[in-house]
Structure formats: structure tokens, C-alpha cells
């Protein structure tokens, strides 16, 4: 998640944790989703392909997560 998007969400009352802020920037997508689930967090990503596959896998395995929000990667000004 871009820094500016994180700040916009925080300024509007959201609780936001970026992977870089918690030292998880080197973890894979499945690790990120598992971490988010453990901490009852929703993932916000631009990675449509991989997270669609992960979400489908979770459903097939009967696992739960707290949501995946997929967004186009647009500039903020």
C-alpha cells in the first residue's frame, strides 16, 4: 500500500498497518494473508491475480480471512 493511501485512510479514522512498518516486506502473499487473518485485518492490495488465487484456496480449504480489497494502482495528488 502506498504511503499516501495509508495516510488518507488513517486521517479518516482507519487503523492501517503497512508491511514495511511491521518488517514483513519480504514475506510472500500467503504469509501476508495468514498474518492479516491472525490479527483480524483486511488486506488492501493491487495484486489481483495472486490474491484471487489465495482467496479461492482459502475457500476450498474451509479457511477464513478478514477480507481482501483489490484496487487499481492509481496516483494520488
Q: Where are the domains of the chain?
A: 3-70
Decide: helix, strand or coil at residue 17: coil
Amino acid 4: pLDDT: 82
pLDDT on residue 31: 92
Q: How far apart are CA 41 and CA 37, in angstroms?
A: 6
* pTM given for the model: 0.77
**pLDDT for position 16:** 86
Distances (CA, A) of 73 to 1, 6, 34, 57, 58: 9, 13, 23, 24, 25
Amino acid at each position: 500500500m502506498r504511503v499516501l493511501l495509508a495516510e488518507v485512510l488513517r486521517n479518516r479514522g482507519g487503523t492501517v498497518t503497512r508491511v514495511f512498518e511491521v518488517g514483513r516486506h519480504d514475506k510472500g502473499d500467503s504469509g501476508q494473508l495468514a498474518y492479516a487473518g491472525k490479527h483480524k485485518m483486511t488486506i488492501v492490495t493491487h495484486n489481483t491475480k495472486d490474491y484471487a488465487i489465495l482467496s479461492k484456496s482459502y475457500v476450498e480449504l474451509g479457511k477464513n480471512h478478514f477480507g481482501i480489497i483489490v484496487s487499481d494502482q492509481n496516483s494520488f495528488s
